[in-house]
């Protein structure tokens, strides 16, 4: 009986990206430029071409489009937050693979986490900042 050859997948870099309440785990692998998000192609996962453009920005800045396969696991948030998290994670994974990409990605603003989140609702109020109407009498 011949044993099956098991092809070992080697991750070149790993990065975790965050935006709003979305978290994206990104794995950089040797390949021909496929981007897979939660088991689907990036174009079918993010229907909006603007969100696909946001995800691919770090690859265009570093001129590595078509060099790596990227596997992304996204949880939480909505489409816009997940696209921003993917961009942050891809930038971190590229830096983990090759530190020479860091200056270009940093000047483009892809290495910093966009910390804007929805403010929580406070008790005794109808919303985060909205107050009930004041009545003098």
| Residue keyed to tokens 């961009």 | 87
Rounded to 5°, the CA angle 6-68-86 comes to 110
Is 119 inside any structural domain? no
How many domains would you assign to the chain?
A: 1
Does position 47 have pLDDT exceeding 80, yes or no?
Answer: yes
Is 125 inside any structural domain? no
Q: Across the strands, what pairs with 25?
A: 16, 73
Contacts of 31 (CB under 8 A, 6+ apart): 67, 68, 69
Rounded CA-CA distance 98/94 in Å is 6
- 68-125 pLDDT, tens digit per residue, is 999 999 999 999 999 999 999 999 999 999 999 999 999 999 999 999 999 999 999 9
pLDDT at 1: 65
Is 18 inside any structural domain? yes
Tokens linked to 19: 């935006």
- 54-65 pLDDT, tens digit per residue, is 999 999 999 999
pTM (predicted TM-score): 0.88
> Which is more confidently placed, 129 or 1?
129
Tokens linked to 130: 């909205």
- 3-31 pLDDT, tens digit per residue, is 778 778 788 899 999 999 999 999 999 99
Q: Which domain holds residue 92?
A: 11-108
Rounded CA-CA distance 26/40 in Å is 14
Is 117 inside any structural domain? no
CATH code for the domain of 89: 3.30.230.10
How do the residues of the chain divide into helix, strand and coil, expressed in percent and rounded to 5? 35, 25, 45
Three-state DSSP at 10 gives: coil
């Amino acid at each position: 009986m011949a044993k099956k050859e098991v092809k070992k997948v080697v991750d070149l870099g790993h990065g975790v990206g965050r935006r709003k309440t979305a978290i994206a785990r990104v794995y950089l692998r040797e390949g021909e430029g496929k981007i897979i998000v939660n088991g689907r192609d990036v174009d079918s996962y993010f229907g909006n071409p603007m969100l696909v453009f946001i995800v691919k920005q770090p690859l265009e800045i570093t001129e590595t489009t078509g060099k790596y396969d990227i596997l992304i696991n996204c949880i939480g948030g909505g489409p816009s937050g997940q696209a921003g998290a993917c961009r942050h994670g891809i930038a971190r994974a590229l830096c983990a693979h090759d530190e020479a990409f860091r200056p270009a990605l940093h000047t483009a603003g892809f290495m910093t986490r966009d910390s804007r989140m929805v403010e929580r609702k406070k008790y005794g109020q109808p919303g985060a900042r909205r107050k009930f109407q004041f009545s003098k009498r």
